[in-house]
Amino acid sequence: MGHALQARPQGAAPDWTIDQGWEHYSPAEHALWDRLFARQASMLKGRAAPEFLAGLEVLRMDRPGIPDFADLSERLMARTGWQVVAVPGLVPDEVFFAHLAERRFVAGNFIRRPDQIDYLQEPDVFHDVFGHVPLLADPVFADYMQAYGAGGLRAGGLGVTAMLARLYWYTVEFGLIARDGALQIYGAGIVSSFGESRFALDAAEPNRIAFDLARVMRTPYRIDAFQQTYFVIDSFEDLLRQTLETDFGPLYAALAGSADHDPAVVLPSDRVYHRGRPNSPAPTPSG
């Protein structure tokens, strides 16, 4: 999400990790976390995938205040071998992939300002920890995230990171999942956004299309507005299987010769859950 920091900041280790500095959070920052948490936890009932809600429970994230990454990592490690490490913000793709491949999720340690409660460009601790960490307690999704990291390291050498970033964007950040005919949210960018938690499921504007790996990797995205198209997976098992079973080399080669798809457009080959009218300018996430 956003634009990776250019130079490694002072104090960051070669892998860009820093100390979370949990003892430095102010009461106002903990209170802001509690306000964001309460608003999303109530909004997401019946909207978020049960695996996400179960993750919140099992990681005891309903406790007040910004979580201490060391405590969180202890509980997470016991379940899926993942841990949460602090970074100052976006890190370069190859650093990001290397952490994921080792089951380390990098989370920004800063929290947004109260005037940014509805949107901010850089992932803060609420986006990263509330949005991304609960699903890392699910064994299948935990495997998917590691497989994604390993794939990213391989892709780095092929210069196709941008295409792989689309796979991350349309699943990990903005993915939907179909359950008994209803659509549920699992993407971190949606679950951590008050406005998009509603827009992604209820709005008429966006398209909602069945996930297809090659289709997603040919579909660019915008980072500063609600999505024009959401992709819907059938299960986390299916997403993991497609990622593990795909030989990405030939796929990148095939995709290299084809053009990107306009994210507003539904293709004849798409399996469509909802045909939207995304040409109307999507509201910015502050909605």
CA angle, residues 220, 226, 131, in degrees to nearest 5: 95
**DSSP symbols for 83-102:** EEEEESS---HHHHHHHHHT
Binding-residue pattern over the window 167 to 196 for Fe ion, x denoting contact by CB under 5 A: ---------------------x--------
Structure-block tokens of residue 134? 């609960």
Q: Which is nearer to ligand HBI, 94 or 237 (CB)?
A: 94
Q: State the catalytic residue, choosing from 192, 193, 197, 205.
A: 192
CA angle, residues 199, 234, 267, in degrees to nearest 5: 65
Q: Is 123 in the site for ligand HBI (CB under 6 A)?
A: yes
Q: Is 90 in the site for ligand HBI (CB under 6 A)?
A: yes
The reply to whether 127 belongs to the active site is: yes
- CA separation for the pair 56, 262 (Å, rounded): 35
Tell me the CA distances in angstroms from 246 to 138, 207, 213, 215, 217, one per residue in order: 22, 26, 9, 14, 13
Measured from the Cβ of residue 171, the count of other Cβ atoms closer than 10 Å reads 25
The reply to whether 192 belongs to the active site is: yes
Q: Is 93 in the site for ligand HBI (CB under 6 A)?
A: yes
- CA separation for the pair 172, 284 (Å, rounded): 20
- CA separation for the pair 201, 44 (Å, rounded): 11
Q: State the catalytic residue, choosing from 29, 173, 196, 205.
A: 173
**Which of the stretches 33-41, 58-66, 84-92, 237-245 binds ligand HBI when contact is defined by CB under 6 A?**
84-92
Q: Is 4 in the site for ligand HBI (CB under 6 A)?
A: yes
Q: State the catalytic residue, choosing from 29, 73, 127, 205.
A: 127
Residues 239-255 as b/e (b if ≥16 CB within 10 A, e otherwise) read bbebbeeeebeeebeeb
Q: Is 165 in the site for ligand HBI (CB under 6 A)?
A: yes
**Which of the stretches 45-53, 91-99, 237-245, 261-269 binds ligand HBI when contact is defined by CB under 6 A?**
91-99
The reply to whether 26 belongs to the active site is: no
The reply to whether 3 belongs to the active site is: no
Q: Is 190 in the site for ligand HBI (CB under 6 A)?
A: no
**Residues with catalytic function:** 127, 132, 173, 192
Query: Residue numbers of the site for ligand HBI (CB under 6 A)?
Result: 1, 4, 87, 90-91, 93, 96, 106, 123, 165, 168
